[in-house]
Structure 1
Amino acid sequence: MAQETKELSIQFKDQGNLWYSQKDYQKAIELYSRAIMINDNNPTFYLNRAKCFKMLKTFDKQYQDSLKAIELDDSYIKAYIVNGEALVELGKNDKNTAKIEKGILRMKKALNMCFKQNQKNFEKEIQTSLKKAEKIKWYKQTEIDSHDKERLMYQIRGKMDNHQDDQDILGRFEKYLNQTDPRYEETKNQAREHRSTHKEIPDFLICRITDDLMEQPVVIQSGFTYEKSAILKHFQINGNIDPITRQSVDPNILIPNHYLKQATEYYLERNPWAFQYIPGELYLQYHM
């Protein structure tokens, strides 16, 4: 490629970046597309356009462009992140969690590449995207399980009502459900008892201000631990006092509680239902 042509494609890319910074994503897409028409072997052009599609919630095109960036440069960490995020968004409308799980794998690959390439500046971004994806996966799986249980409840209660005295039919039906649906036994008990299992999160993982799991737990001068954003907002509104003891504290003394953060992550890995108790912005994003 001639140097002048290459420079022209870079100019279009730079102009696209300017429009992107001004949040005119459609104009940015036009300029990135012009850059691609001149040079279709530059992965950055595709990734930048993919990020515009992400902002416009055109997730299929976000996926396609970020995948093209990966094909052109399979060590492009940012492309794996954006591609994984697109898969997660596309998976929200599916009947299973396959795309969401594939997106999570892409992000985990990006995280591994961070360590191998010593590019730790991406680590926090990937961890945030992974946590969001895991929560979306939990909501999706809960939605699927809920539909399956509703179907089973209908079948079980219908059979119970229609064949109360026919043990042979009930026995054959129960055998069939046991073979075809591993959730049958649990659902059958719920159908009989008309109740759900109640689950509780250990108190020490819950912020006493928000009543939610803590993502950034910090210890303040009084020795109590709170969610960082919540305690800062408390200081701003109520002054520099501990919300429980009411004693005066130095608002600048906020010590990250690494032990509690690790304990929360460990708990979430083994109790994915608890993702619903992470502060609620993501819940709104998922159900929009």
Structure 2
Amino acid sequence: MIGNSQGCTLWLGLLDNSTTMTEGSLASRSSSSPRHLEEGEYFVERRSPLVFIMLNAAKQAEALKNQGNEYYMKQKFGAAIDMYTEAIALCPKVPVYWTNRAACHRKRNEWVEVEEDCRTALQLDKESVKAHFMLGLALLRRKESARGVCELEKALDLARGGSNGIGMAEEIWQELSKVRFTLWKAEGEERGQRVRDLHLQCERLLKEDSDRACHMVSSSGGRVPNLSSGSSPVHGGVFRNGFSQWLGIGKGMAEVDSCGDPDCQAGIPTGQESGSKDEHNVEKLRRIKEETNARLALLKDVFSVAEQRDCPGEVPDHLCCKLTMEIFRDPVITPSGITYERASLLEHLRKVGKFDPVTRATLHAEQLVPNLALKESVQLYLADHGWAYKL
């Protein structure tokens, strides 16, 4: 089932070797002198039972693990946990017993126990793919997203780098991409709301500044104040030498103020009828409105660009595998210079034939080389386009 018995097999081998060495040393001593034989016999009498006890315990633990694997396959997780617990009691230094029991707890959604067993397994084997993987899942259940993602990334690197966990790479990637997409979506929604709020605030302030300018035109006998000079009437100095100039509205108002008409500069009509004064006011108000509308359109364009960051799109072709048509996860390059997804290419070599899928040239698994440059490009792209994790 789950895991292998490498740790226990190694221990059994060591015990067998130690027994052989003891017997060999006794044989050599027996040929040398009776005294050595007597000492050897005394040595066997005192040490041999301990060796056999340890050997027997290891074999019993393996049998219990195998029984637990059978229960696991039958989805009898409680019974499997009991078997693994007994195996741990006999051989607590074998990490696969801990990860197997953690896998059962995972099926029962007992995440506290999963974390405890995985941490113990990592103390025994720091490169246990399963331990890092399930520990990451347990941390995610505790809402510790950063640490959980870190453990999943560690598990994925170990799975891709060794033969023992290569079969788990796809499962780990699926969980990792799901978490990263969820985090991106939550961050995107929060960021989008802040952008929309800021847009509305800027729009409101711009309109208030325009309305205030129009009101001053109507109430000052036709004279428009030069808002770019720092005399903006907005309370608290929000636009004073700042927002109005950034949006250009202060400049527009100054142009209205300096229209070249002496009556505009003086603000008092001299030798003209009151109808002329009204026409000047209407023209000034029209120009203020046009300028404000232009600035509002510019403001909308600026914020539209900011919101496009979180809009899903198409992944560039050079970041996608020619076999899976999906974004690269673990790209490898062939002698022909073509890059493929490692898992898909290995499956092709195993099931279809030992040749390059595109060039048809002879190809073996040992000829594949990781495309680190492309892998880094994919990681950078995913960092800025989190929606691509869901593809």
Structure 2 partner of 1:182: none
Structure 2 partner of 1:266: 376
Q: How far apart, CA to CA, are the structure 1 residues paired with 2:191 and 2:379?
A: 23
Match of 1:159 among 201, 207, 210: 201
Match of 2:191 among 135, 142, 149: 149
Structure 1 partner of 2:132: 84
TM-score w.r.t. length of structure 1: 0.58
- 1:88 to 1:41, Cα distance in 2 relative to 1, 3 A: closer
Instruction: Tell which structure's C-alpha radius of gyration is larger.
Output: 2
> Counterpart of 2:377 in structure 1: which amino acid?
Y
Judge conservation of contact 1:91–1:97 (CA < 8 Å) in 2: yes
- 1:76 to 1:149, Cα distance in 2 relative to 1, 3 A: closer
Structure 1 partner of 2:297: none
Structure 2 partner of 1:239: none
Q: How many residues align?
A: 243
Match of 1:196 among 289, 308, 313: 308
Judge conservation of contact 1:209–1:226 (CA < 8 Å) in 2: yes
The Cα shift of 1:196 comes to 0.4
Structure 2 partner of 1:185: none
Judge conservation of contact 2:98–2:118 (CA < 8 Å) in 1: yes
* Structure ranking higher in helix proportion: 2
Match of 2:78 among 12, 26, 44: 26
Judge conservation of contact 1:84–1:107 (CA < 8 Å) in 2: yes
Equivalent position SS for 2:92: coil
Structure 1 partner of 2:259: none
- 1:168 to 1:124, Cα distance in 2 relative to 1, 3 A: farther
- Superposition RMSD in Å: 5.0
Q: Deviations over 1:118-172 (max 9, x none)?
A: xx43363576576456534532431232132133135324424554426667959
Judge conservation of contact 1:207–1:226 (CA < 8 Å) in 2: yes
Q: Mean alpha-carbon deviation: is it higher for 55-64 or for 160-169?
A: 160-169
Q: How far apart, CA to CA, are the structure 2 residues paired with 1:35 and 1:130?
A: 27
Q: Deviations over 1:54-94 (max 9, x none)?
A: 344544322211112234x2x3532xx23321243245456
Q: How far apart, CA to CA, are the structure 1 residues paired with 2:63 and 2:237?
A: 73
Tell me, yes or no, if structure 1 residue 3 matches structure 2 residue 53. yes
> Counterpart of 1:3 in structure 2: which amino acid?
I
- 1:50 to 1:91, Cα distance in 2 relative to 1, 3 A: closer
- 1:216 to 1:87, Cα distance in 2 relative to 1, 3 A: same
Structure 1 partner of 2:231: none
Tell me, yes or no, if structure 1 residue 41 matches structure 2 residue 92. yes
Judge conservation of contact 2:321–2:340 (CA < 8 Å) in 1: yes
> Counterpart of 1:13 in structure 2: which amino acid?
K
> Counterpart of 2:117 in structure 1: which amino acid?
D
> Counterpart of 1:98 in structure 2: which amino acid?
A
Judge conservation of contact 1:135–1:276 (CA < 8 Å) in 2: no
Equivalent position SS for 2:208: coil
> Counterpart of 2:308 in structure 1: which amino acid?
S
Match of 2:106 among 54, 72, 85: 54
Judge conservation of contact 1:51–1:62 (CA < 8 Å) in 2: yes
> Counterpart of 1:138 in structure 2: which amino acid?
R
Tell me, yes or no, if structure 1 residue 205 matches structure 2 residue 310. no
Seq. identity, %: 15
Match of 2:145 among 97, 102, 112: 97
The Cα shift of 1:194 comes to 7.4
Q: Deviations over 1:22-59 (max 9, x none)?
A: 444332112223444x4473444322201223344544
- 1:146 to 1:262, Cα distance in 2 relative to 1, 3 A: same
> Counterpart of 1:265 in structure 2: which amino acid?
K
Q: Mean alpha-carbon deviation: is it higher for 61-70 or for 159-168?
A: 159-168
- 1:85 to 1:15, Cα distance in 2 relative to 1, 3 A: same
Alignment of 1:63-142 (within 5 A): 63-71=115-123, 73=124, 75-78=125-128, 81-92=129-140, 97-104=145-152, 106-107=154-155, 111=158, 120-122=162-164, 124=166, 131-132=173-174, 135-142=177-184
The Cα shift of 1:224 comes to 7.4
Equivalent position SS for 1:77: coil
- 1:95 to 1:50, Cα distance in 2 relative to 1, 3 A: closer
Judge conservation of contact 2:105–2:114 (CA < 8 Å) in 1: yes
Q: How far apart, CA to CA, are the structure 2 residues paired with 1:170 and 1:259?
A: 62
Q: How far apart, CA to CA, are the structure 2 residues paired with 1:170 and 1:129?
A: 57
> Counterpart of 2:190 in structure 1: which amino acid?
D
Q: Deviations over 1:186-242 (max 9, x none)?
A: xx97645574037764423324565422456687x9x9776684996xx99xxxxx9
